[in-house]
Structure 1
């Protein structure tokens, strides 16, 4: 299922990318495509899924919008997935700093003050992050830099955003 998760996370990030930048955070349930076709044939038909597509693939199903005023970690803490959901994925945009900037970060301050400090940094990077996890702990991440917005410039790996992967994994606990 690792390959299926990678394919699903890449597909989700590309889907969101088609809408451009400055998008809200989006949450997806990941369901086993073959199981979906068997258990929900009409939904599978509505989604354009064919039986031959179902072998070892995951179908992403976008969930209701995440309220903009709710911090993502608080939102995720209130989620529990039903058993047919094999995994989940989250796409969001953030500002990132190079590792060297961590030494200069203020030790104290509100979230708003820290966000303002990051936003004022000339070395900040705007990124779109897509992270997916499966119930068994498998994870995958895709990161796209806004200033290098091309499918050739997408970074991927299991541990690019470990904190977010752990928060998503906790929705299955």
Structure 2
């Protein structure tokens, strides 16, 4: 496990937005063509109080200057390469100390103007191949986070506009992935 970013988190008013931007910055530092990454989100003050040794390993000293109600992203073990993300996420159960989770994943996207040209009756593999060959395709890194209480936040970074100032944020940018992450907190 590692803290998403050893430095300071980007400026944002909302703790979840700060966590998403921190994870995006961390993923950006690793470069493109990376596997999906999963993060637990924990309350920073609670982590310091309950797990001081882990907090120290993550660089969260007692005199930290994190804002009130800050979240600390903790990267989880590598995701299995063979398992589809939705199937893998369906197997996750978080301990009570985890108040949210986040994931970064890279995908190819098409602009809305290309939607009308998508051939009908393609299976998933054929559609993926068609998108990969489309001249208007864009590589995008999506960072999506959800809290147990239902709050959501997302960040999108296009490979062709790979700059912190070009990252888009919003709660509804990647609803499918947000739903899958929220389901990891569902109680039966």
Residue pair 1:32, 1:58 contacting (<8 A) in 2 also: yes
2:111 corresponds to: 98
Q: Secondary structure at the match of 1:172?
A: coil
- Among 162, 171, 175, the residue aligned to 1:149: 162
- Among 28, 44, 49, the residue aligned to 1:17: 28
> Displacement of 1:80 after TM fit?
1.1
CA displacement 1:69-92 (0-9 Å, x = unmatched): 111111111111111100000001
Structure number with higher helix proportion:
1
2:177 corresponds to: 164
Looking at structure 2, the residues matched to 13 and 162 of structure 1 have their Cα atoms a distance apart, in angstroms, of: 17
Deviates more, 1:96-105 or 1:157-166: 96-105
Q: Secondary structure at the match of 1:36?
A: helix
When normalised by structure 1's length, the TM-score is 0.95
2:136 corresponds to: 123
Looking at structure 1, the residues matched to 167 and 56 of structure 2 have their Cα atoms a distance apart, in angstroms, of: 32
- Among 44, 50, 55, the residue aligned to 1:33: 44
> Displacement of 1:111 after TM fit?
1.4
- Among 8, 11, 16, the residue aligned to 1:5: 16
Looking at structure 1, the residues matched to 179 and 96 of structure 2 have their Cα atoms a distance apart, in angstroms, of: 19
Detail structure 1 runs of 4+ shifted over 3 Å in the superposition: 51-54
Gap regions ≥5 residues in structure 1: none
Question: Aligned pair 1:114/2:127, yes or no?
Answer: yes
CA displacement 1:55-111 (0-9 Å, x = unmatched): 311111100111121111111111111111000000010001112322222332221
Residue pair 1:34, 1:51 contacting (<8 A) in 2 also: no
Question: Aligned pair 1:79/2:95, yes or no?
Answer: no
C-alpha RMSD of the superposition: 1.3
Gap regions ≥5 residues in structure 2: 1-12
> Displacement of 1:52 after TM fit?
4.5
